[in-house]
Amino acid sequence: MNDRTQVAERDQKPAARREADQPSRRMTLTPAVDVFEDSQGITLWADLPGVTKDKLEVKVHDGNLYIEAEAVVPTPTGLRLQHAEIREPRFARAFSLSPDFDTSKIDANLQDGVLKLTVPRRDEARPRRIEVQTN
Amino acid sequence: MSDLYSRPSPFSEFDRLQREMASLFSGFPSSIRSGRSGATFPYVNIGATDDSIEIVAFAPGLSAGELDVSIDKGLLTIAGERKPARPDASGDTRDDVRTYAQERFSGAFRRVIELPQNADPDKVQARYTNGCLSITVGKREASKPRAITVQ
């Protein structure tokens, strides 16, 4: 009864079979995000319903931040999908990061299908108050 | 109107019901402060097995206690409210916060799903895991497929 199968359709059409040759061409959903910046850095929230920690990949490459995830929703065996608003279980989104940010100190937290990422500013890029000297 | 030879599939039937429900509720004015009118939250997938109707609502960032699931007269309602990720600046005035994206839904939501005739409102289970609300509605015994022995 509790087999872990995809609730979102896995397309089995011939078009989907080409996935094997071109894994980068997969259909993916763009997760909704909130992005805020304050003096400490960037905070990003992303909606990733059905995603667990082991199916989530957050990586930084060439100054770009990549979020890739796959949703797994336990469903009973023999399920026939009748109405689908989420048709793909894969999420992907990329952002470019300015060099002001310290990509080695990114903090990622996933809870209830929401990813919270904090990207701190480099110390030297933080706003500083400069004392004005008077003679 | 409908073709005598092509049976309506349960798929199109669910889609039609969803469209009808959506148009039924779209007439109400939405909050003037909800910037994104027409945003659907949560997204819902519906499927069926021989024994049950399975509904999955993709509602991340909530807790089980914040979700209100009810069945009345064959209508399944999923309602609740999702708070914004960053509360209004009230307590945060010292810091200059810039907003670059605010795409995630926040505010009150309600989805109504019409259950088929054979749904049994006494056999409902709802579970919230990893931001997905899974609802299982049992089917009445009489409607389950049965093999009939030929004498």
pLDDT of residue A127: 77
Which residues constitute the domain of residue A64?
34-76+83-124
A43 domain residue, yes or no: yes
What stretch of H or E contains B14?
Answer: helix B10-26
Count chain A–chain B contacts defined by CB atoms under 8 A. 139
pTM for this predicted structure: 0.72
Phi, psi values for residue A34, rounded to 5° = -115, 135
What is the DSSP code (8-state) at residue A29?
Answer: B
Residue A15 and residue A24: Cα distance in Å, rounded?
Answer: 14
Closest residue on chain B to A40 (Cα)? B95
Domain harbouring A38, CATH code? 2.60.40.790
Contact A95/B at CB under 8 A: no
- Partner-chain contact A83 B44, CB within 8 Å: yes
Contact B137/A at CB under 8 A: no
Q: Give the nearest partner residue to B130 out of A39, A45, A50, using CB atoms.
A: A50
Residue A52 and residue A73: Cα distance in Å, rounded?
Answer: 10
Residue B122 and residue B55: Cα distance in Å, rounded?
Answer: 16
Strand extents, DSSP E, B18-106:
43-48, 52-58, 67-72, 75-82, 98-102
3 state SS of A34: strand
- Partner-chain contact A78 B130, CB within 8 Å: no
A7 domain residue, yes or no: no
- Which pair of tokens denotes residue B107? 């505010």
Residue B122 and residue A27: Cα distance in Å, rounded?
Answer: 39
Residue B40 and residue A114: Cα distance in Å, rounded?
Answer: 17
3 state SS of B136: strand
Q: Give the nearest partner residue to A114 out of B11, B61, B98, using CB atoms.
A: B61
A116 domain residue, yes or no: yes
Beta strands B67-72 and A107-111, pairing class? unpaired
A45 domain residue, yes or no: yes
Residue B11 and residue A80: Cα distance in Å, rounded?
Answer: 9
pLDDT of residue A126: 76
Contact between A49 and A71 (Cβ < 8 Å)? yes
Phi, psi values for residue B90, rounded to 5° = -45, -50
pLDDT in tens, chain A (135 residues): 444 444 444 444 444 444 444 445 568 899 999 999 988 899 999 999 999 999 999 999 988 999 999 999 888 888 999 898 888 899 999 999 888 899 899 999 999 999 999 999 988 877 778 889 887
Amino acid at A10: R
Closest residue on chain B to A73 (Cα)? B132
- Which pair of tokens denotes residue A13? 């059409």
pLDDT in tens, chain B (151 residues): 334 444 445 556 666 666 666 555 554 554 444 444 446 899 999 999 989 999 999 999 999 999 999 999 889 999 999 998 876 544 555 567 888 888 999 999 999 999 998 999 999 999 999 999 999 999 988 767 778 888 8
- Partner-chain contact B60 A33, CB within 8 Å: no
pLDDT of residue A1: 42
Who's near B15: CB < 8 A, 6+ residues apart? A83
Q: How many other CB atoms are there within 10 angstroms of residue A87's CB atom?
A: 14
Closest residue on chain B to A79 (Cα)? B49
A114 domain residue, yes or no: yes
Closest residue on chain B to A34 (Cα)? B102
pLDDT of residue B60: 96
pLDDT of residue A76: 86
Residue B19 and residue B58: Cα distance in Å, rounded?
Answer: 19
Domains of chain B: 41-85+105-142 (2.60.40.790)
Residue A25 and residue A29: Cα distance in Å, rounded?
Answer: 12
Number of domains in chain A: 1
A134 domain residue, yes or no: no
